[in-house]
Chain A
Amino acid sequence: MAEYYNIQLTTEDMAPIERAHLHRGFSSKKTPLKWIRFFRMCVLQRELSLKKRKKKSYTLWIAYFIIAAAMIFLVPGYWIAVNIILFVVALIMDARYRREFRKNYTDGYDFFSDYFSALFTLIEEELPQLGTIHFTANVKETLAGVEYLKSSEDAIFETRGFISGKEEFYEKEIAQGYCTLKDSAEVSFSFVEKVRKRIIKKRGTSGKRKTKQKYKSVYPFILKLKLPKSVYQLKTDIDKADIQMEEDDSFYYMKARRKFDIKDENPDGYSAYQYRSTPLFSVEYFSLEVVNLFNICYGCFTLK
């Protein structure tokens, strides 16, 4: 039991992917339990690194204050000039520590850790023994670059003092994966972040020009199931409102979609766009809603 809790965050214990930084994304095939361990190690890695970064910054500033105080006595004539130079040097070094940390780690670790640990735990027993999930993820910030910009267009808003407006739509696949269940059904899923950014230029009541930026994020989760006709037969009275379905000689192909909307579904917790807005969804709410997509698909069939 002890080995569960005491994960040793040592290089020797970690597989190469676990030493990789999540900001580059990752792609691997693991059993659900190993994925849960992996997510946990990523979070630990980030926490450890953040602790080290803070310690370095703390030491740097303490050293600065000690040296700055000493300069008053050592070079009484120039201590202000020397202290300004030292302050700038300390500022640059601190910025470098922070930049180095941001380069290696980004927000989103806890997102993967909590949400996908929960989801994989829930579907763990639907997989065959030692069945694996192939999972690919990308936790770069959706708004970070033009690569995720899908469209940009001018827009008119009925805002008082409106001068001009623009809407930008960003889209990024946060995660996608596939696995085979113990009934030989093949599952693939993808989780996408869509962000709408509105830039509104307007004149305030005092006549001053203002630029406002508004953000809205939605997270569609798409589940696709490929069910063997040798095992399942389609019910006659199915409700196709929530699903798309196709079939060939051997398989049924089901597609179900659940769009998570942080503003509509969690209005109290919602604030303007945050890079870590996904934690506003309850982990349990997310995982149950996603599992319900399986429910919707399987609900269309009876066993042969």
Chain B
Amino acid sequence: MDQNINCQEKLGLFLVDDCPAVATEQCANCNKKVCKNHIFLQNENGKNQKLCLTCKAVLDPRLTSKIELYSPDRPVWRKKMMNRFHTEYPFLVTMASQYGALFDTVSFTDFSNHSGDSSPFDS
């Protein structure tokens, strides 16, 4: 991984920033380059895939109520809740023009078998 590339994930819900850390991994779903704090393992069909936080939050089938907050999965819970907030509430877009898209769009690839899911949020 090129040491000069910064993590392509974003931090924050209202006060959105680019993650300042250096990218060390690549998402198996969207090919985004992310840092070690934004890479998560996802077991799909018996094999582990490395996903960025954005993809993990969408593709992880767990309910938010089943995710332990005092754990390394806390960012996944937060991202799921942010997605839910974005969907359920008239969300602030004030800063979108300054910061770019607040939420990245996830494109599904073949290894996901959740194509039948109707909702991106889970509870």
Whether the pair B89, A292 counts as a contact (CB closer than 8 A) is yes
Q: How many residues of A contact B (CB 8 A)?
A: 32
Whether the pair B14, A121 counts as a contact (CB closer than 8 A) is no
A226 to B: closest C-beta gap in Å: 15
A265 within 8 A of B: no
A107 within 8 A of B: no
Interface of A is mostly: helix
* 18 extra A-B contacts, CB within 8 A, seeds A117-B69, A182-B17, A298-B14: A1-B71, A4-B70, A7-B70, A122-B13, A125-B11, A125-B13, A125-B78, A181-B15, A284-B81, A284-B123, A287-B81, A288-B85, A295-B14, A295-B85, A295-B91, A298-B92, A299-B92, A303-B98
A304 to B: closest C-beta gap in Å: 10
Interface of B is mostly: loop
A26 within 8 A of B: no
Chain B residues with CB under 8 A of A284:
64-65, 81, 84, 123
Whether the pair A40, B70 counts as a contact (CB closer than 8 A) is yes
Interface of A with B (CB < 8 Å)?
A: 1, 4-5, 7, 33, 36-37, 40, 117-118, 121-126, 181-183, 283-284, 287-288, 291-292, 294-295, 298-299, 301-303
Whether the pair B88, A288 counts as a contact (CB closer than 8 A) is yes
Interface of B with A (CB < 8 Å)?
A: 11-15, 17, 64-65, 68-72, 74, 77-78, 81-82, 84-85, 88-92, 94-95, 98, 123
Whether the pair A302, B70 counts as a contact (CB closer than 8 A) is no
